[in-house]
Amino acid sequence: MTTEAADRSHGPGGLRRWLPWMMTAAALLLAAYLLRRIFNEHGWDEIRRSVAEIPAVRLGLTAAFAAASYLCLTVVDFLAVRSAGHRVAYRRCALASFTALSIGHTVGLAVLSSGAIRYRFYSGWGLKAGDVARVIFFCAITIGLALATLGGTALLLAPGLAVERTGLDAGLVRAAGAIAILTPLAYLGLSASGRAHVRIYKWSLELPRLPLALGQVAIGPVNLACVAACLHQALTATTEIPYLDVLTVYVIANVTALVSHVPGGLGVLESVVLALVPGANVVGGLVLFRVVYFLVPFVLGGLVLAAAELARRMQPRT
């Protein structure tokens, strides 16, 4: 190897070539680490007994709702790319979305981890760094609006769990739910007004066109409803619990996990569920949910990322 070739392999260009492979290897190692932590926390015998009691139909429905959630997320990316002013085929947006989010959900700090993977894909399809940042911000806003919509709906329709756990009056709980639901309505109103930007203190929020905003407000809650349904199917395999209670628990756990940035929300969801649903036999259901919604997509996303990088390296250079 010549000195010039060695410099290329060890320099910044060489690092960029090897970085995706290093990320993939790190992702798969992290998956193994998270799985080991689950087994250590609950014990293999306890997990085996709990999962063995889950009917096959519940397994199938849990997987189906997980797949529906990731499908919704691909639509969010598609809308986000349109909002950034680009037209990228849906199949490409779906590839970037699933790979980025299946890894980002588990790694934690999803804005950074999934953002780096999104940039790896979208930069090859004509988006600049600023455009990818707009895509990520659009997706983050979608999650916030969805949490407000579903959280508010749950508080209005089923305030019992919140009243029991907080000690607040049912009227106050319902009022909080109503305020939460007003958030996406206000967002749509601002988008319909034709204003391109809204400034809040030092922050400037770029608003999408109304058709994109309507799609954003609609698809976000559907996604979270699918995730809550996935969790509900996993939990009801071992205990009886209403869907709206699971939805409320999931929204609370999701907000907590986003704030804590714990990898995969590991321990956050479990602690919230066990605190809000005390005494229930939920270990098997929680393990099933974590394996189906996080670990399986995580491994698949790592394999897709590796395959995409291999295909990119095999393309002839012009």
What pLDDT score does 80 carry? 95
Question: If phi over 0 gives left and psi between -120 and 50 gives alpha, with beta otherwise, what is residue 315?
Answer: beta
What is the mean pLDDT, run by run of 10 residues, along the chain of 318 residues?
43 51 57 58 63 80 96 96 94 95 74 76 91 91 91 81 71 86 91 74 76 95 94 84 84 67 57 65 78 87 85 70
Question: If phi over 0 gives left and psi between -120 and 50 gives alpha, with beta otherwise, what is residue 311?
Answer: alpha
In the structure encoding, which two tokens stand for residue 261, read together? 């940035």
pTM of the model: 0.80
What pLDDT score does 92 carry? 95
Q: Please tell me the distance from the alpha carbon of residue 119 to that of residue 128, in angstroms, as a whole number.
A: 8
Percentages (nearest 5) of helix, strand, coil residues in the chain: 80, 5, 15
Q: Please tell me the distance from the alpha carbon of residue 297 to that of residue 96, in angstroms, as a whole number.
A: 13
* Position 97, amino acid: S
In the structure encoding, which two tokens stand for residue 98, read together? 């699933």
What pLDDT score does 241 carry? 83
Residue for token digits 């199938």? 60
